[in-house]
Structure 1
């Protein structure tokens, strides 16, 4: 979510497929963006129906997980409307880990209201385990030695097993949502071209994308989480054009291509066209932002199916008047305009 650079290494474990395998991606990918093809996901079908016409308004609810609708409610207090996309995070600190169930319960409530559900995971570095801090040298902003990375990629090694156990914990919550019929926009390993996150910053087929591919295979095939709509996400660095190629995990591994917009230059046509090219017919979205797009920009760049502003930055970087104007625009979908889920 912020501006950073640094190279780290890549994992590809294989639980059930061999370490770092690129096996059959499974059934999670839906053919998003192909309007001639009906998806098994209600969410994808709805997003396809609005693509090129309207954009869903969303906001992230960052920590604490004890109040998982805090920023959604703040938008309502400011605009009189609720966002049509609710977003939560599994997070990494002990208190937020303890309150993951509250976040999942809120996801279910929001789904029943008709909202699109987005969940992400600022995961702790598996070499040090959870809970962890943000940038304490062993937290979310940390790295691995070559030896640690090799161990992590060795199926059945202590570090490899530790990482799988972390993923298994997350899977239990996602399985709860599956049992309730909740479809989840799942945005793990966000900002894959962001080198300060332990999972990011290594381009190419043998880089960061392999970990993402492994996670897709594991959660889809081994854990049976067919309720996940996979969101591949990168940030708008100056290297975006190359990053959209070098960090692309392949069409079988995602349903939506998302761009996080933080570099200060805003919603340029170049960024928009870069994401359209990278997505190759799949849906595109604004995965995170601080400064909101205007309704006029979203009319010009009408293929963005949603924007998700970042919690407190929404109010730090935009005036109440700007937020109100956007949320009341005729091409913006707020919760009361959603059709509801079956």
Structure 2
């Protein structure tokens, strides 16, 4: 150690003067600071706010404005992602010099002993801010209108809100249990201390009597509290005409043969032919769903509508799971357009935001794009991902975005292991929302970790991220 540096450091500490110009400080050891109370002086403004997404090239300094006179304590360090910063005092605060990289999440930490206030009589209060830098990739040129030119005011407001948040914040979401309630959302609230901004429901049992889908109290409660409503459809179809005529739902299924015991021989090719019993069935079922969607429309509730999900089945596009994807992408696209026409043009349902769900696996991007119905029939693209890690999945995001020509937003329409929001934003995986798939009856089981390994701590970390919007932060879009 160089003795003169020790003496200079001690003098600086005594006089409340900052040392910021020393370049050779690797071997500089500062004395311990005596116990000093933390006072009332605090940061009242920061040039980078919590949760901000900034361009790396635009930020060379971060300014912290304090409500009192401050100086730097050379025995403590202000850090950015754990690395000490060059800091200097200015009129009213501190100027921190930074070198930011694109597509990176940052945490600025000013510890309790780093800033001296009240002429050395106390420390300023600690301060931290989390922000991210944007990816270098150019922003997508999204279509600013929905596919339905007659879309309701509420549907347009939801879409506009999602556009405004894209690349800045990700909406939280949770899928409801199949018995049409908000129990899983309540569990997420109890675990993550916030309600999901989006709650998903499923028409899976529309042909059974044990669920009354005309009871819209669960989605209506979500909407009335400023949350968004999502419906999907595990569409169960009869395995033969006898099951259809008898209404024998024990012989209905949504899986293609061989994919599960709950399978069906229902043939989408026949369903697309006018005059067949299969065509009669799909029209009747679409009309049943339309009746519920009409009730929601009459109540002023826009619906993020996601039917015919995961049509490709296998992520390698060689083993369809569901009957609507069993005979190839062209039949699925034709069914999508038939449903679109029936709901929008025949039933006049203008409260729908149409979400197409794609499957992603690296190397199969062309297959992914080949199944897309087109921007004129789709408002948002969803990707269902069940990975064994918490990565942002930027490859899946970029592939889905490219599929639309960069014109439609992309959502993480189903997920298991939760992705880290700051990492998503930093890597340019600008998911519109994420939808955590439910763990059945988790609340009654008293569990704090779900079926995908998401612990209470991790769920809390995600839900409380400054890059996430929960229902509590949602504006009224009515």
Q: TM-score, normalised by structure 1?
A: 0.81
Report the equivalent of 1:251: 375
Q: 1:34: how far off?
A: 2.7
The range that moved more, 104-113 or 175-184, is 104-113
Out of 299, 302, 305, which is 2:425 matched to? 299
- For 1:111-126, what aligned pairs fall within 5 Å after superposition? 111-126=223-238
- The count of corresponding residues between Structure 1 and Structure 2 is 303
Report the equivalent of 2:167: 52
**2:440 is equivalent to residue 310 of structure 1:** no
Separation of aligned partners in 2, 1:289 and 1:197:
19
**2:305 is equivalent to residue 186 of structure 1:** yes
Separation of aligned partners in 2, 1:125 and 1:207:
16
Out of 73, 76, 98, which is 2:189 matched to? 76
Q: 1:267: how far off?
A: 3.6
Alignment partner of 1:64: what SS? coil
Q: 1:95: how far off?
A: 5.5
**2:323 is equivalent to residue 323 of structure 1:** no
**2:145 is equivalent to residue 33 of structure 1:** no
Alignment partner of 2:348: what SS? coil
Which runs of no fewer than 5 residues in structure 1 stay unpaired? 1-31
- For 1:117-266, what aligned pairs fall within 5 Å after superposition? 117-126=229-238, 127=240, 128-129=243-244, 132=249, 138-143=252-257, 148-194=267-313, 195-204=320-329, 206-238=330-362, 240-264=364-388, 266=391
Separation of aligned partners in 2, 1:63 and 1:95:
12
Alignment partner of 1:220: what SS? helix
Post-superposition CA distance 1:58-116 (Å, at most 9, x none)? 00002223xx10110000110221111111111127667533233x2211111111111
Superposition CA RMSD, Å: 2.6
Which runs of no fewer than 5 residues in structure 2 stay unpaired? 1-140, 258-263, 314-319, 441-448
Q: 1:151: how far off?
A: 3.4
Distance 1:44 1:93, change over 3 A: closer
Contact 2:174-2:199 within 8 A present in 1 as well: yes
Alignment partner of 2:384: what SS? strand
Post-superposition CA distance 1:201-254 (Å, at most 9, x none)? 5444x2311111111111111111111100000233456412321110011111
Name the structure with the higher helix share. 1
Contact 1:111-1:341 within 8 A present in 2 as well: no
- For 1:5-16, what aligned pairs fall within 5 Å after superposition? none
Contact 1:93-1:131 within 8 A present in 2 as well: no
Report the equivalent of 2:111: none
Contact 1:62-1:311 within 8 A present in 2 as well: yes
Separation of aligned partners in 1, 2:256 and 2:145:
43
Separation of aligned partners in 2, 1:215 and 1:331:
35
- The structure that has the greater radius of gyration is 2
**Structure with greater contact order relative to length (CA < 8 Å, sep ≥ 6):** 1
Alignment partner of 1:59: what SS? strand
Post-superposition CA distance 1:156-176 (Å, at most 9, x none)? 222211221111111100000
Separation of aligned partners in 2, 1:122 and 1:273:
27
Alignment partner of 2:325: what SS? coil
Distance 1:259 1:110, change over 3 A: same
Distance 1:222 1:131, change over 3 A: farther
Separation of aligned partners in 2, 1:193 and 1:50:
30
Contact 1:33-1:281 within 8 A present in 2 as well: yes
